[in-house]
Amino acid sequence: MMIGTALLPLAAFFLTPAHAFAPTSLSKRPAAAQPCFVSRPHRSSVARPLVVLQMSDDFGSLMPAKPEMTRKEKLEESSDQFIYNFQISLGEGVEEPPELETLRVARAKGADSPELTIRIYELMIEQGMRYDKDEAGILTPTDFDIKNNLDVEEVQAEFAYLYKYGIGLIKRGLMAESDVKKIVMERLIERTGLTPEEFDKWLGY
């Protein structure tokens, strides 16, 4: 990462922010059972007129609109979901990372949007760097040697994704550039053993 200038210009690479903090649910609920309508015999041979409710075309407009969530409310909701998903995905006996408790505390004390975003980003990185995920979505500690496997395509892709994610947070005004740089340096670049310049080159910048 070019410490002086690289972060902001690279923001264009970030994906659209529609669900930035909405981790995928670990399981899908079964679809609700559909009602089964059983035909009943007519009690009379006299045909009854079909009653049709004449609903006004404006009926929908009479319903109160669902209030739009603020950015902070969306972050709070996503934080809660992330915490919950992380907790239930940890394998049996696997200790929680300290970053999970840090996010939990921040949420409990009503932290502002910038702090929540920092804590979420830190936990995202640690999830990607410290755990293996099986087909059922269960997380277990990894013993993968990152520094000696930088030529593995999947390793590079994981680092690139998390790096671009941070850049996107800057672009959207959710995190300060200085905060993203600090997190990237300490939690991504340091794990590779590369210099910031080598890290940028490794990712193709």
Tell me what percent of the residues of the chain surpass a pLDDT of 70: 69
Reported as a single tens digit per residue, the pLDDT across 114-151 is 999 999 999 999 999 999 999 999 999 999 999 999 99
Reported as a single tens digit per residue, the pLDDT across 57-99 is 555 566 677 788 888 899 999 999 999 999 999 999 999 999 9
Reported as a single tens digit per residue, the pLDDT across 26-35 is 333 333 333 3
Give the integer Cα–Cα distance in Å for 163 and 174: 15
**End-to-end C-alpha distance for the chain, whole angstroms:** 8
Q: What average pLDDT does the structure give for the chain?
A: 78
How buried is 165 (Cβ within 10 angstroms: 0-12 exposed, 13-18 middle, 19+ buried)? middle
| pLDDT score, position 63 | 65
Name the amino acid, one letter, at 81. Q
| pLDDT score, position 172 | 92
User: How many other CB atoms are there within 10 angstroms of residue 86's CB atom?
Assistant: 23
| pLDDT score, position 68 | 87
Judge contact between 168 and 17, C-beta under 8 A.
yes
For residue 6, pLDDT over 60 is answered with no
For residue 18, pLDDT over 90 is answered with no
Give the integer Cα–Cα distance in Å for 48 and 38: 19
